[in-house]
Amino acid sequence: MKRHLLEAADLDRDDATLVLDTAAQIDSALAGREVKKLPTLRGRTVVNLFYEDSTRTRISFELAAKRLSADVINFSAKGSSVSKGESLKDTALTLEAMGSDAVVIRHGSSGAPHRLAGWVRGSVVNAGDGTHEHPTQALLDAYTIRRRLGRLDGVRVTIVGDVLHSRVARSNVGLLHTLGAEVTLVAPPTLLPLGVGSWPAEVGYDLDAALPKSDVVMMLRVQAERMNASFFPSAREYSRRYGLDADRMAALPEEAIVMHPGPMNRGMEIAADVADSVRSTIVEQVANGVSTRMAVLYLLLGGHA
């Protein structure tokens, strides 16, 4: 494996499979145990460097590091020297001078983790950068699909919604393609990025046509904070054409699952009864996120012979 995890393309098929297998073994090792802690990364320090708001990703990384006995420092831009004008580079070098072994970074600017990787000696893990990539989300999604359906090769995954702004979609297309799944993107034309034709995925505009051919539907969040132009006429119209409700869910094949990276807008891209149905893996994805991130931290930090 490479020293950093910056984008889905950093993982070839063997590496990605190793991460998923490791996560599965960690899950089975910790299942039913009272002591949910392993001594593996004792004495290592992981810095969570978060320039953007996050609940599940930050907590998930924190929990993953703590379950491996690493020390965790949580840094959020609010209330730090960043508000005094300190640059990313100086912040990172400061943290490294204090002895951090790995930096988990979320940043509003695409490419920030790549820049960081050139400045620090430790490992850098991208926890979401701008509209670029969110590789550990893709790994936990792939892990969830494999657990539910038992395979990834040939699984038909339909990703629905705001692909333009979605780092989750970008990472998932890359990783799922690497692992042999067939990805279809469904979105309003205004919410597809330029050059989407070169992605290893089919592109469509009609959700109802795609559903019967999907083993997995992954609903993306409509990101209100990034809706700075008229991408669609109204929330209601978006919901009517691209929202997943009970009727649409009924059109899915029998074994199909419904995924959402969270946080969800209930009633917007996903109806409440769909989000809470047995086909929904939304809560499972959160739990799988911890074991997947433990696997990533173990493989990046455990040691290199």
Partner 1 sequence: MARSSEPAHSDARASNPGVLLSGADVARVVDRMAHQLIERYARGGGGEDRPADDRAGEPGADDGGLSDLVLVGIPTRGAPLARRLAARIEAFSGTPVDVGIADITLYRDDLRLRGVRALEPTVLPDAGIDGRLVVLVDDVLFSGRSVRAALDALRDLGRPRSVQLAVLVDRGHRELPIKADFVGKNVPTSRSQQVRVHLAETDGIDEVLVIEGDGVSGAPRGSEGGAS
Q: Which positions touch partner 1 (CB under 8 A)?
A: 18, 21-22, 25-26, 28-29, 33, 35, 37-40, 68, 298-299, 302-305
Beta carbon nearer to partner 1, 224 or 305: 305
For partner 1, give the closer residue by CB, 78 or 304: 304
Report the residue number, 5 or 49, with the smaller CB distance to partner 1: 5
Q: How far is the CB of 23 from partner 1 (least distance, A)?
A: 9
Residue 267, amino acid: G
Residue 70 Cβ vs partner 1, minimum distance, rounded to whole Å:
12
The pair of structure tokens assigned to 33 is 């145990």
Helix axes 135-149, 56-67, angle to 10 degrees: 80
Minimum distance between the CB of residue 39 and partner 1, rounded to whole angstroms?
6
Q: How far is CA 182 from CA 22, 103, 200, 277, 281, in A?
A: 24, 32, 9, 25, 19
Q: Please give the C-alpha separations between residue 99 and each of 62, 90, 102, 296, in angstroms, as whole numbers.
A: 17, 14, 9, 20
Between 16 and 258, CB nearer to partner 1: 16
Q: Please state the closest distance from residue 144 (CB atom) to partner 1, in A.
A: 19
Instruction: Report the residue number, 25 or 80, with the smaller CB distance to partner 1.
Output: 25
Q: What angle do CA 221, 175, 189 make, to 5 degrees?
A: 45
Instruction: Between 256 and 294, name the residue whose CB sits nearer to partner 1.
Output: 294
**Nearest residue (CB) to partner 1, 38 versus 149:** 38
Q: Residue 105 forms beta bridges with which residues?
A: 49, 126
CB of 305 to partner 1, least distance (A): 3
The CA distance from 73 to 96, in Å, is 12
Question: In one letter, which amino acid is 152?
Answer: L
Q: How many residues does the chain have?
A: 305
**HSE, side-chain direction, 13 A CA sphere, residue 28:** 6
Minimum Å distance from CB 41 to partner 1? 9
Residue whose token pair is 């990025």: 193
Cβ-contact 290, 64 below 8 angstroms: yes
Structure tokens at 304: 């290199």
Q: Measured from the CB of residue 186, what is the shortest distance to partner 1 in angstroms? A: 36
Tokens 């959020």 locate to: 76
